[in-house]
Structure formats: C-alpha cells, structure tokens
Amino acid sequence: MSISVGDSVPSGTFKRKTAEGIEDISSDDLFGGKKVVFFAVPGAFTPTCSAKHLPGYVSNSAAIKDKGVDTIACMSVNDPFVMEAWGKDQGLGSEVLLLADGTGAYAKALGLELDLTGPGLGQRSQRFAMVVEDGKITHLAVEPNPGALDVSSAESVLASL
C-alpha cells in the first residue's frame, strides 16, 4: 500500500557521497521542521531522468524555493557513487540534493517501488514527486508509467505550491 497525502513519511536513511566519504541522512533530518520537495526517478543516467526530470528541478529551483521550500531532494535506487557521478555529469550545484536509496528500502517503505527486472534494471522507484511539510505529505503525484513526466515535473509541483 502506498503512502497518501496526509500521511507521515516513513523513517529511513539515505546515503550521499561527499568529499569526506559516504554520509547518512536520516528522513528525520531531511524532513523534520522543513518544507521539502522530494522527487524520485527510476534511475540516474536514464533518458527521461537525465534529459528532463532533474534538469527541470534545477532550472526551477529558485522559483520553488521562493515558495518557502527549504530543500529540493531527488532520490534514486542507485548507490551514492552513481548519484555523485550523475550530479557531476549534470553540472549540478547545490540546487538539488541527490540521495541514494541503494537497496530500494525507502521506495518500498513508501509503497512506491517499481519492478523493472524484465528490462534488466532490477527493483527501482516509481517516478513521483511530493511536498512534505514537517514530515507530513501535503502533495503527492505519481506518474502512471516510468517513462512519463507530467504530474511529477518541476513545473507541476511548482504550480501546486
């Protein structure tokens, strides 16, 4: 069963590669006392994710933060080294925090896991976006299929803020 608007986000831990090494970021630290736009992609370096989804949030980051958002975070079921390389490939600065859900545990806790074993990608996350205010989901948009980018786009989320 997937999460819904009004639910609290589940507890969990994300990984992030920094200059000092691998850093753990708890969901409590990420969402507690903050307004966060949190979106997920099925995979770093995949076509829609790299060409449209992440770049949309980067180019709209100032407008999103002008709406009172403290953090914009992107999660993918990839390891922290892949997420770091993807950020470098995308020329990402500090606009979007890239978070690794290496085992897919957080996607599963949200009820938004996606089985892409058929095409050889394994277990992933559905493409979605949500707005979380102090740990409560106030907006949730899940794409109907992994290649779609409509309801979870930066423009759609910005319109909902």
Q: Are 155 and 60 in contact (CB under 8 A)?
A: yes
- Residue 83 has φ and ψ, to the nearest 5°, of -65, -40
49 is catalytic: yes
User: Is residue 6 included in any domain, yes or no?
Assistant: no
Each of the 161 residues of the chain gets a pLDDT tens digit; together they read: 689 999 999 999 999 999 999 999 999 999 999 999 999 998 888 888 788 899 999 999 999 999 999 999 999 999 999 999 999 999 998 899 999 999 999 999 999 987 667 776 657 788 999 999 999 999 999 999 878 899 999 999 999 99
Is 152 among the domain residues? yes
Domain count, the chain: 1
- Dihedral of alpha carbons 128, 74, 112, 110, sign: negative
pLDDT the model gives residue 122: 58
Answer whether residue 8 is part of any domain.
Answer: no
Range of the domain at 125: 13-160
pLDDT at residue 2, rounded to an integer: 86
HSE-up (13 A, CA, CB side) for residue 139: 20
**Residue 3 in domain:** no
- Do the domain assignments include residue 110? yes
| CATH number, residue 52 | 3.40.30.10
pTM of the entire predicted model: 0.93
DSSP letters for 55-91: HHHHHTHHHHHTTT--EEEEEESS-HHHHHHHHHHTT
Catalytic residue among 49, 100, 107, 130: 49
Give the chain's count of helices (H) and strands (E): 7, 9
